[in-house]
Amino acid sequence: MNIANLSFSALPPINVPFRHFISAVIFLLLTALLILISGEKIWLSRWQPILLAITHLFTLGFISMVMMGAIYQFLPVIGGVGITNVRNVATVSHCLHTLGTLTLSWSFITPSTFARVLAILTLGIGFGYYIFSVARVLIKKLSQGPAIIGLRLAILSLTFVVVLGGLFIGQNSLMPYVNISFFADKSYTDIHALLGGFGWAGGLILAVSLQIIPMFHVTPSFPKWLAKYMLATLISLLLLLFFFKANSVGGQVIIAFVLVTYAVFNLAFLRLFKQRKRKVVDTSIHFWQFAGSSFLALTCLYFLADDFYQQVFSGNKALLLSAVFIYFYLISIIEAMLLKIVPFLSYTHLQNLCLADFNAMSHLPYMHDLLLKKHSRLLFKFHILSCVLLILTIAVPRFYWGFSCAMLVEFSWLLFLIIRSLNLYRRCLMKIKNMAV
Amino acid sequence: MTSIPEFMTAKHRECDEFFIQAENAIADNNWLLAKQAFSQFSAELTIHFQAEEDILFPEFEQATRITQGPTQVMRGEHQQMRTLVADLLVALSAEDKDAYISVSETLMVLMQQHNMKEEMMLYPMSQQRVPAPDALLTQVIEHCQITENG
């Protein structure tokens, strides 16, 4: 274990994770507006260009944006070492990621070579710089716990997803002299989506929850075999899809194994929450339980006969399953984590200032003040409402406006909660600084 | 024989148990049980901090020659936790449920992120870096037993 750079106080500046969280929520508000103005026709198939733009606004604009911000914070805590020159890395990659997500979405809606070139450059350089900076920390001999190993596997998956994504944008017009037309095969899109969903986002959730759930929710630990082998098994299965087309029998069996493996992880954390000893009500646990149950339902839905999808969802099985995975599962867990991270970060940064002057602790707010419990409960209710309206919209697309409005309400509320916490942080910071003067 | 990380991690869990017992008793408005559990929690926490600050950290600092790094941060956080424990005692004495839960939530998060740093980095490094980890562990165990029995 290398201890030369070890520092438990190497927290990134508070604006680093917060700029990611705020941008992510703004991206979802934009997405809700796009859904509102696009009408019902986009819900016919997942290959509709506007729906592809919306999918990437969810995955790049919200999910990856929050996760990238959280990693800046998470690395020093679990690895004891932060990213070198974190302010610069965050500024460059955040700006390029924001611009890249916007231009990629634009290129889906209004195809143009300029938009594609801009998207490939901004996302390629933005992700490249980010992955390089995080990988430089991860290749050091840090603590060898499952959380760090899981983080490495998640970043490896992200690398595959980014390279595949770059090749999709670049095929045909941008690489006229290189024949990569085989990429037009939709099974590569499925690998891109599955590696992004289960390797990057799902993998990171698995890695982080091994540490976060037992510690912050005071539950028993995950079983050792799960912590040690599950994510590696999952990523190996996903990589097998390069050899078996996703729509072949072999590919379908692999996808079924991926779902069942990940369902086992969800069952495991649902069981841990059931064994939780604390009686104090915690809304973030409701989000986790909702997400875990949704994933189990998704796994069952996957095995249902096509007749069901024909009758209820106009044959849109892939659209329904992707929507449940992104909105019911990933977004629920990210909101659960934000409910913990936002007050925790504000508190930790203020608390660090008080390490030098204990009298300043009188100006520290309690965690409750930074995010009120009744506000969290309301967010959960808004989320359930938008989930119901999403399913209704996939079944009966003319209700799209209801889903869009529910999204606007949910994410405006989340934005308010983040800004409120940040505002209270600033007020306390002023008091502590005034005290020092 | 157990190792430093195993023993110290088990001590963290013991503290958590008493902490949760007190919090749950307050959620049930059982103030008598809450006061008993809180007093056990407070005593365990004090012994644990002493074992670290007086025995484990000095050995770690001597072995690694790092005196202003992780152990300094850990000492500072101990001090902050002591302040929050004092706030809890005030709320407990006044039998103020809302105030207690508010402080306990804050202490719980502070305590858990502190534990995470110790369990993932500091304890394993101590086990690897100090010249005689078994002797150090014996010293820590004796301190805990003598203080608990005394």
- The mean pLDDT value for A164-174 works out to 80
Q: Is the pLDDT of residue A315 over 90?
A: no
User: Which positions 2-21 of B are in contact with A (Cβ < 8 Å)?
Assistant: 16-17, 20
Quick one: A110 exposed, middle or buried, by C-beta within 10 A (0-12, 13-18, 19+)? Answer: exposed
Q: Is the pLDDT of residue A176 over 70?
A: no
Tens of pLDDT, residue by residue over A286-295, are: 999 999 999 9
Of B101, B120, B124, the CB nearest to A280: B101
Measured between beta carbons, the chain A residues lying within 8 angstroms of B23 are 278-280
Tens of pLDDT, residue by residue over A50-69, are: 999 999 999 999 999 999 99
Tens of pLDDT, residue by residue over A376-417, are: 999 999 999 999 999 999 999 999 999 999 999 999 999 999
Phi and psi torsions of A275, nearest 5°? -90, 0
Q: Does A366 touch chain B (CB under 8 A)?
A: yes
- ipTM over cut 0.85: no
Reported as a pLDDT band with limits 50, 70 and 90, residue A1 is very low
- The pLDDT value recorded for residue A170 is 82
Q: Within 13 A of A335's CA, how many CA atoms are on the CB side?
A: 35
- The pLDDT value recorded for residue A2 is 47
The helix (run of H) or strand (run of E) holding residue A354 is: helix A331-354
Measured between beta carbons, the chain B residues lying within 8 angstroms of A146 are none
Reported as a pLDDT band with limits 50, 70 and 90, residue A5 is very low
Tens of pLDDT, residue by residue over A188-203, are: 889 999 999 999 999 9
Reported as a pLDDT band with limits 50, 70 and 90, residue A139 is confident
Closest CA–CA distance from residue A150 to any residue of chain B (Å)? 15
Measured between beta carbons, the chain B residues lying within 8 angstroms of A279 are 23-24, 27-28
Closest CA–CA distance from residue A207 to any residue of chain B (Å)? 14
- The mean pLDDT value for A207-226 works out to 88
pLDDT averaged over chain A?
90
Tens of pLDDT, residue by residue over A90-131, are: 999 999 999 999 999 999 999 888 999 999 999 999 999 999
Three-state SS for chain B is CCCHHHHHHHHHHHHHHHHHHHHHHHHCCCHHHHHHHHHHHHHHHHHHHHHHHHHHHHHHHHHHCCCCCHHHHHHHHHHHHHHHHHHHHHHHHCCCHHHHHHHHHHHHHHHHHHHHHHHHHHHHHHHHHCCCHHHHHHHHHHHHHHHHHC
Token look-up 């590919």 returns A251
CATH fold, domain B4-149, is Four Helix Bundle (Hemerythrin (Met), subunit A) (1.20.120)
Tens of pLDDT, residue by residue over B50-80, are: 999 999 999 999 998 877 778 888 998 898 8
CA A417, B107, A224 angle in degrees (round to 5)? 95
